Amino acid sequence: MPLPTLFEAMYKGSRHVGFGRPESGAPQTLYRVAEGQLAAAFIATDGSEATVRAAVAEGAETVTVAAGDPEVRPLPPLLPQATGNALLSGFMGTHRKKWGGQTAPEGGEFTPPRWFFKGFGDWVRLPGETLDVPADPVALIEEPEVALVYVNDAEGTPHYAGYTFGNDLCDIGLHRKDPGYNPYCKLCDTALTPWLFLGEPPLSVTGRVTIVRDGATAWEGTFDCGADALYFRVRDMAEHLFSFPAVRRPGLVNHVLLGADEASFHDGFRIADGDRIAIDVKSHDVAFENAVRYVSPAPLSPAATTGVS
């Protein structure tokens, strides 16, 4: 049975919600919603498909679109229109295989994993869009991950909405050169799928990565990024993160990456400019891909280099 899923999209200049994922060749019904209406529904309800649908679909203006309609532009889950009202961040070193196959002991003081800030929510790329990286990376790595989605209410209390999947592309070579460089390492684009899966974070998420270069498969391998593959418990990581007021600002949406399995870098492969990274989350029937682009910086202005305004 398909997992309950929804998505938001812009259609002819207005925000809409769709339930379920579009099927090949089948029309899709979209419900027109106001900015922030879907996020508010997750605050006001128990987050189930039935209650969220009632909050946003009953009485809404509807439109039926054909499969693949180019005017339907999907959005990252719950992304606010206002820049800066969503954050993308994540945890590092969370997988059991990096802890000798063990899981964190129950009880006692929680020792949290390392955390990183990736960027604002509107920095997120969607499937099919190009992932830009600095022009001279040390060694890139693809990172298929689960991303949890939270929205804060007017008091700053986070409400869990659901989860999606992403590719947290980063320069692991720079990180290994010096862990203190990790904030630079993370300054590569990240892709998220637009599908918001309702329900608890998934225990098992398995799939396959294929990296294509010049039209041919250059590398492929499997991954597992579900909660059962993690050393840390998801609830402990989330509770610790949301103990910080900075991520509890009223109305803020948080996309939180849970960490990645070992990938092409650990197999000796190196991602190159123009490579296409295809991630097939077989356990959830979600497939997406993005091309990688090395971007050379524009020269700094004289004022920027001298500090003269």
CA distance 17 to 212: 33
Mean pLDDT over the full length of the chain: 94
From 207, 119, 122, select the one nearest 169 (Cα to Cα): 119
CA distance 244 to 263: 31
From 167, 164, 163, 123, select the one nearest 143 (Cα to Cα): 167
Residue 130 in this model has a pLDDT that exceeds 90: yes
CA distances to 157, 196, 262 from 154, rounded to whole Å, are 7, 22, 39
Cα angle value 207/213/218 (rounded, 5°): 55
Average the pLDDT over 290-295 and give the result: 98
- At 166 the pLDDT is 98
- The distance from CA 57 to its chain's CA centroid, rounded to whole angstroms, is 25
| Positive or negative: CA dihedral 94, 97, 100, 101 | positive
Q: Is the separation of the CB atoms in 238 and 149 below 8 Å?
A: no
Average the pLDDT over 289-302 and give the result: 88
Residue 189 in this model has a pLDDT that exceeds 90: yes
- At 2 the pLDDT is 77
pLDDT tens digits along 216-267: 999 999 999 999 999 999 999 999 999 999 999 999 999 999 999 989 999 9
Residue 171 in this model has a pLDDT that exceeds 90: yes
This prediction has a pTM of 0.94
String of DSSP letters for the chain:
-PPPEEEEEEETTEEEEEESPPPTT--EEEEE--TTHHHHHHHHS---HHHHHHHHHTT--EEEE-TT-TTEEE-STT--SSTTSEEEEEESS-BGGGGTT--PPSSS---PPPEEEEEEGGGPBPTTS-EEEESS-S-EE--EEEEEEEEE-TT--EEEEEEEEEEE-EEHHHHHH-GGGHHHHT-S-EEE-S-EE-SSPPS--EEEEEEEETTEEEEEEEEE-SGGGBSS-HHHHHHHHTTSGGG--TT-EEEEE------GGGGT----TT-EEEEEEGGGTEEEEEEEEEEPPPPPPHHHHH---
- At 294 the pLDDT is 97
Residue 305 in this model has a pLDDT that exceeds 80: no
From 89, 49, 113, 72, select the one nearest 192 (Cα to Cα): 89
b/e for 81-111, b at 16 or more Cβ within 10 A? eeeebbbbbbbbebbbeeeeeeebeeeeeee
Domains of the chain, start order = 5-74 (no CATH), 86-295 (3.90.850.10)
Which amino acid is it at 247?
V
pLDDT tens digits along 43-84: 999 999 999 999 999 999 999 999 889 999 999 999 998 888
